Structure formats: structure tokens, C-alpha cells
Amino acid sequence: MEFSFDMLATTALGCVIALFGKQLVSRSRVLREWAIPAPVVGGLIVSVILSILKFNGVIAFTWNKDLSSFLMNIFFTCVGFGFSLKTLQHGKKYIIPIFWTITAIVILQGTLGIVLAKAFGIHPLIGVNATTGAHAGGPGTAAAFGAMYEELGAIGATEAGVASATVGLALGSLTGGPAAVWLIRKYKLKSDPKDLELMDTSHEEALLDVPRLFNMVCLILIVGALGIPIQYFLKQIPYIEMPYFIGMLFSGAICRNIIEAVGIKFYEPEINAIESISLDIFLAVTIMTMDLTLIVNMLGPILLMLVLDTIITVGFGMIVAFRAYKKDYAAAVMVAGFIGTSMGSGSNAIANEKSIMDSYGYSHIAWIIFPALSVLAVDIANPLFMSIIVEFL
């Protein structure tokens, strides 16, 4: 028996799954502490159930994910719009260390995935997506690149990437804090009391403003559309396979800085809301429609990639990144953030850093500079690596 869902039905079910996931996360302290996104929780439960039914020949589904693809492009437009040169100015001396360490871990993770995939006779792009796509990139990147990789013959890349990303989020939360604590204790590091004077204790709540929200929806749609010609020109570059959303990513970054330079007003709370909503629905639809039967025979290799990738990332953070960040208390806190970012997401980095600072003291540089710069770095390095590497495999 097979059921077919059109675009509206597929998206509506994705919304139900996202809401279901939020309810589960709100009731689970473990899920909140590990910073597992709600759409991932709900989507995985549904995809597991549907995959079991399909595997046993009970029922199967076909989906129309056109609106999900649109929301993916909107999400990456918003991500690009977060790239502000003004942010870089606030942490000049950390720009190069953060960018080169993030770029290095992206390459290390991806190389590990390629080597292990080839060793097990799996398509190497599955290895890339299950390592740097899943961990440095997170569930959103794994889902986006998985679709592109599958068109190139890497069947199961989406499922492998999203599954690895989900576990990676938990491992990034579990390992980041202990790694930083070990560094703090080993080197007897102390927070700078002067940092407390710089701590922002205000918590302004953004109220719903419909005209502002409408203006920002229109802005993001226009900026996203401007990414289409950028994508066209990027496609002309030989030996590089750029996914469609890369044009939106670049357009967002270019337009953000032009808008800031000419003094056009925009509203970040509304743009953040558009980004969050787009990601939640896009992820819910992508994950709930995964066919996990495609990776049954790859579970062993994917698990090995996950374990070794975690060891490499934590080791690189504690040995290399710690020294690159100047070996002080701020550096130790940033290592917690580095592991969170490199194994999951920017929210993991923030959660890891906050847990350290709650126990050992505030660090202004680690809290204000690192999350923003690390997200910018990974949003540039990871998609470029994952696009370029296609031509060498």
C-alpha cells in the first residue's frame, strides 16, 4: 500500500511533527541540555516508524518537498545575512585563529569521512556528509548537501548525515564542557574579574510588530532572489559543484554589508524569527521523510565515523585550538565553544560556554566574540569544502 502527499499535505505534516518535537523537548531535561533541535526529535521518531513499516512491506509514502526546499533557501539567505563585517571588527585579533582552526577541523572531518567510506566500500560523499556535513555543518547542512550528493550517486547521504548530526549534537554537548574543565584545572586558569563589568545583563524582549515582520519577510525574499544570478555565475566556475542555496548564502552576506554601509534600517529579531521558522519546518519535513532503510547496511561504518570524528575534534580543540586562542581562561571557554560548533551548531557552542562560565566565571571575549566568529567561519568553510571536494571524488 502506498500513499502520496502533495506539497501542502507534506508541509502541514512537517509542521505537526515540529510541534510534536517541541512538546517532547519541553518535557525532557536531557534533550534540552543536549540542545537537540525539536524538529530533529519529532522527525526521527516518525522516520523510524515509517521506515520500519516500509521495510516490512506494510505501507510506503511519497512526498512533495518543494516548499521545504524553498524554506531551505530562505534559511540559508538568513544565515548569509548574519555575516557582518562589523562583527569581525570587534574581535580582530581572533579572526585568523578562529577561521583557520574552524577551516582545519572541517578539512580533517571531511578527510576522515572520505578515508573511512572508501575503506568500507561506501560512496565517499556519504562519508563527507556523515562527518563534516553532519558535525561542523549540523542537521540543516547535512540535509541540504545530502540531497545534492544523492543526485551525484551517493544514495543514503541525507539519512547518514542527519543521523550522524543528531548524535553529534549530543556528543558535542557531552564533551565540550569536560574538555574545557580539564584545561582550566590543568593550567589553573582563572577568569578576569574585569570581564564582569562588560557583562550585559539586560534582557530586552522583542514584541511582535507586524509591519516590521512584513518588511523583513519581503527583504529576505528579495535578497534570496538576488542569489539566483550569483548562483548562476558560481556554477560557471570549473571543478566546483555549488548547491543552489550557496547563491542565497552569498547574496545574504553581500546585501547585509551593503545595507549596513548605506544605513538602511533592518530588524534582526524578525530576521532571526524567519530563520528559525524556516529551519524548523525544513528540518521536520526533511527528517520525517528520510528512508532509513537506505543506511541499514552502513550503520557500522557511520558509527565508526562518528566515534573517530568526535575523538579528532575534541583532541584538536584541546591541543591545537587552545594554543591558537592564547592558552588563557578565555581560550579554555572557547575550546568548549569550538567543540560545540564543530560537533553540532552555534547553539551548542553557546550552551557549552555558558555551562563553563556558570561554574568558573564570565569571559567577555569567549561569550561575545567566539560564537559569532565561529559560526561565520563554519558557514563559509564548510559549504565551500563540501562543494569543492565533489570534483576530487
- Residue 375 in this model has a pLDDT that exceeds 90: no
The domain in which residue 45 lies consists of: 2-196+208-392
**What is the spatial distance between Cα 377 and Cα 373, in angstroms, rounded to a whole number?**
6
**What is the spatial distance between Cα 298 and Cα 121, in angstroms, rounded to a whole number?**
10
| Domain presence at residue 203 | no
| Domain presence at residue 201 | no
| Domain presence at residue 130 | yes
Please report the pLDDT score of residue 354 as a whole number. 84
Residue among 138, 112, 140 at smallest CA distance from 126: 112
The residues near 129 (Cβ < 8 Å, ≥ 6 apart) are 113, 142, 145, 146, 149, 154, 157, 158, 160, 161, 164, 386
| Domain presence at residue 202 | no
Please report the pLDDT score of residue 224 as a whole number. 95
Q: What are 305-355's pLDDT values in tens digits?
A: 999 999 999 999 999 999 999 999 999 999 999 999 999 777 678 778 888
Mean pLDDT score across all residues of the chain: 88
Please report the pLDDT score of residue 301 as a whole number. 95
- Residue 389 in this model has a pLDDT that exceeds 90: yes
Please report the pLDDT score of residue 369 as a whole number. 81
pLDDT confidence bin for 88, thresholds 50/70/90: low
| Helix pair 329-343, 157-186: axis angle to 10 deg | 170
Lowest mean pLDDT among 140-144, 320-324, 367-371: 367-371
State CA 246 to chain mean position distance.
14
| Domain presence at residue 98 | yes
Split into its structural domains, the chain has a count of 1
- Once rounded to an integer, what is the mean pLDDT over residues 96-113? 97
Q: pTM for the full model?
A: 0.77
